[in-house]
Amino acid sequence: MNARAFLGTLAIGLAIALPARAMSIERVSSPGGIAAWLVEDHTNPIVAMSVSVSGGAALDPDGKAGLANLVADLLDEGAGDLDSQAYQGKLNDLAIELSFEVGHDSLNIDLKTLTENRETAFGLLGLALAKPRFDPDAIERVRSQELSALAQELADPHAVANRALAAMLFPNHPYGRPAKGDPESVKAIARDDLAAWTAHHLGRDALIVSVVGDVTADRLKSLLDAAFAGLPAHADPVSVPEAEAQGAGKVQVIRRPFAQSVATFAEAGIKRADPDWYAAYVMNDILGGGGFSSRLMHEVREKRGLAYDTESYLIPRDHAALVGGGVATRNDRMADSLAVVRREWQRMADQGATAAELAAAKKYLNGSFPLELSSTGALAGLLNVIQRNGLGLDYLDRRRGLIDAVTMADTRRVARRLLRADRLATVVVGDPKGM
């Protein structure tokens, strides 16, 4: 379920406060009707764009899990008159970085180019979206790559654990299926499925676009049309049922000959639009989200040396939400590690955060915001998350206030509401003793 990757995106979206240097976000609308947010930055000859398209792996048909992922793999494998090698050759020769990635709720596109190649870069993206070739040899090559990657995942206990946990949490919902599918479902995907996916889900009204870098609003308008005007006006409406996390209190042990057991766990969480979101966000930072300063790191790693890494996180998807975490420990101490984690989980639920912890978390979450502006690409991604969550152009100005407004009572209330150690669904991969 790719919890960590998802969390990364999220953390960017939320770790914002006002950058000390003025940064103005412009709304741009192209003649072809494409809307985008733009931050002009002419420091370097680079343009970066981040796009999300509503509808991701959750829309994969039954028996064809991995379809959207395969589409994403194939969009840059030939389009229009250019076969795979011709298309890839242009990207590579001009150092244009283009990637398509699928999450459960969206297809995400990142484009980075030097200014001198920006017309070509946006044009190549336009070709990929409007006229993907899906050549049979490219399909089979990419399918083989996906099957090899799935086999490779079996050597990674984290990947094995995350897959099993998703199935436990969402047994009858698309969120329970891996975005990359499984070998059988990947083999079942046909060329028609790929073509149907783009026909149904790529439309101008499904796009959220943000651009940062060396481009003016005027010039951007024609670039946007080069990339997106070739798409139909409307995509099919996205329809995914709401889901509640299942598996409360279950523990599944998957026996594998690993020297270190890996545990991953989660329970129902909180959505991004919930009024208590910021309280949950700050509370999670204190519990296990805040690097070396979190309670889990302190109790599990610093004090007892039980693990190299442990963490907690919030996953607010469009149709379900989770609060979860993970820890990895030698087989004969896994039971001890989980006991410490559960105790901290429950202690936070019962007592909330201390005043000192709350103050420190606020300082960190507000103070570290400008670190997110590390590059044009990072800023474009950040603007996209803000748009996608409907946070508004003024979010950068409001965010510090939202964090600062969280009180002790808020963290206590939200912790009591969200955290129940006996409700965690848990998967352990390895050879844990006494479990």
Partner 1 sequence: MTAPRTAIALLILAFSQATPAAAQVFDAESFTLANGLEVVAVANHRAPVVSSMIWYKVGSADEEPGKSGLAHMVEHMMFKGTKTVAPGMFSHLVAENGGRDDAFTSFDYTAFYQDIAVDRLPEVLRLEADRMTNLSLHEKDFAPEHQVVLEELRMRVDNSPGGKLNEQMNASLFLNAPYHHPVIGWRSEVEHFTLADVIAFQRRWYAPNNAILVVSGDITAAQLKPIVEKYFGPLPRRKLPPRVRLDEPPPLAARTVVLRDPNVHQPDWNRLYLAPSYSTGDTKYTYALEVLAEVIGADSSSRLYRHLVIEQKLASEVWAGYSPESLGPTSFDFYASPNPGVDLDKLGAAMDAEILDLVDKGVAADEVERAKTKLRAQVAYARDSYQTGARVLGSALATGRTVADVQEWPQRIAAVTPELVNEAARAVLRDLRSVTGLLLPARPGEEASGGNAPEQPIPELGRSLR
**Least distance (Å) between residue 314 CB and partner 1:** 15
| Candidate ranges 123-131, 173-181, 251-259, 345-353; the one touching partner 1 (CB under 8 A) | 251-259
Residue 29 touches partner 1, criterion: CB under 8 A: no
Residue 159 or residue 321: which is nearer to partner 1 going by CB?
159
Q: Which residues, numbered 253-272, are part of the site for partner 1 (CB under 8 A)?
A: 256-260, 262
Q: State phi, psi for 35 to the nearest 5 degrees.
A: -100, 145
Which of 73, 105, 267, 311 lies at the binding interface for partner 1 (CB under 8 A)? 311
Alpha carbon of 176 to those of 54, 166, 243: distances in Å? 19, 5, 10
Residue 222 or residue 368: which is nearer to partner 1 going by CB?
368
Q: Which residues, numbered 377-406, are part of the site for partner 1 (CB under 8 A)?
A: 377-378
Residue 305 touches partner 1, criterion: CB under 8 A: yes
Q: Which of 273, 283, 264 is nearest to 168 (CA)?
A: 264
Residue 24 touches partner 1, criterion: CB under 8 A: no
**Least distance (Å) between residue 333 CB and partner 1:** 7
Angle between the N-to-C axes of helices 118-130 and 217-228, in degrees from 0 to 180, rounded to the nearest 10: 30
The answer to whether 17 and 77 have CB atoms below 8 angstroms apart is: no
Residue 56 touches partner 1, criterion: CB under 8 A: no
Q: d(Cα 297, Cα 213) in Å, to the nearest integer?
A: 38
Q: Which residues, numbered 401-430, are part of the site for partner 1 (CB under 8 A)?
A: none
Give residue for tokens 């019962």: 350
At residue 262, the 3 state secondary structure works out as strand
**Least distance (Å) between residue 184 CB and partner 1:** 13
Residue 200 touches partner 1, criterion: CB under 8 A: no
Q: Which residues, numbered 76-105, are part of the site for partner 1 (CB under 8 A)?
A: 84-85, 88-89, 92-95
Residue 235 or residue 300: which is nearer to partner 1 going by CB?
300
Which of 367, 392, 397, 405 lies at the binding interface for partner 1 (CB under 8 A)? 367
Q: How far apart are the first and last CA of the chain?
A: 24
Residue 333 touches partner 1, criterion: CB under 8 A: yes
Number of other residues whose CB lies within 10 A of the CB of residue 35:
14
Residue 366 touches partner 1, criterion: CB under 8 A: yes
DSSP of 114-160 = EGGGHHHHHHHHHHHHH-B---HHHHHHHHHHHHHHHHHHTT-HHHH
Which of 192, 237, 292, 434 lies at the binding interface for partner 1 (CB under 8 A)? 292
Question: Which residue type is seen at 317?
Answer: R
The answer to whether 316 and 6 have CB atoms below 8 angstroms apart is: no
Which of 309, 350, 397, 422 lies at the binding interface for partner 1 (CB under 8 A)? 309
| Candidate ranges 62-70, 198-206, 284-292, 418-426; the one touching partner 1 (CB under 8 A) | 284-292
Residue 89 or residue 392: which is nearer to partner 1 going by CB?
89
Binding mask 180-199 for partner 1 (x = CB under 8 A): --------------------
Residue 41 or residue 225: which is nearer to partner 1 going by CB?
41
Residue count at the site for partner 1 (CB under 8 A)?
A: 79
Instruction: Look at strands 425-430 and 310-316 and give their pairing.
Output: unpaired
Instruction: Look at strands 207-213 and 35-40 and give their pairing.
Output: parallel
Q: d(Cα 106, Cα 17) in Å, to the nearest integer?
A: 25
Give residue for tokens 């129940």: 420
DSSP state of 79: B
Per-residue tokens: 1: 């379920």
Residue 110 touches partner 1, criterion: CB under 8 A: no
Q: Which residues, numbered 205-234, are part of the site for partner 1 (CB under 8 A)?
A: none
Q: Report the alpha-carbon angle 304-308-309, nearest 5.
A: 105
Number of other residues whose CB lies within 10 A of the CB of residue 188:
16
Which of 360, 393, 408, 435 lies at the binding interface for partner 1 (CB under 8 A)? 360
Residue 373 touches partner 1, criterion: CB under 8 A: yes
Q: Which residues, numbered 155-174, are part of the site for partner 1 (CB under 8 A)?
A: 155, 157-158
Residue 252 or residue 293: which is nearer to partner 1 going by CB?
293
The answer to whether 388 and 208 have CB atoms below 8 angstroms apart is: yes
Residue 376 touches partner 1, criterion: CB under 8 A: yes
**Least distance (Å) between residue 350 CB and partner 1:** 17
Residue 302 touches partner 1, criterion: CB under 8 A: yes
| Candidate ranges 30-38, 136-144, 165-173, 405-413; the one touching partner 1 (CB under 8 A) | 136-144
Q: Which residues, numbered 33-52, are part of the site for partner 1 (CB under 8 A)?
A: 41, 43-46
Number of other residues whose CB lies within 10 A of the CB of residue 3:
21
Which of 205, 332, 350, 422 lies at the binding interface for partner 1 (CB under 8 A)? 332
Rg of the chain in Å (alpha carbons): 22
Q: d(Cα 272, Cα 280) in Å, to the nearest integer?
A: 10
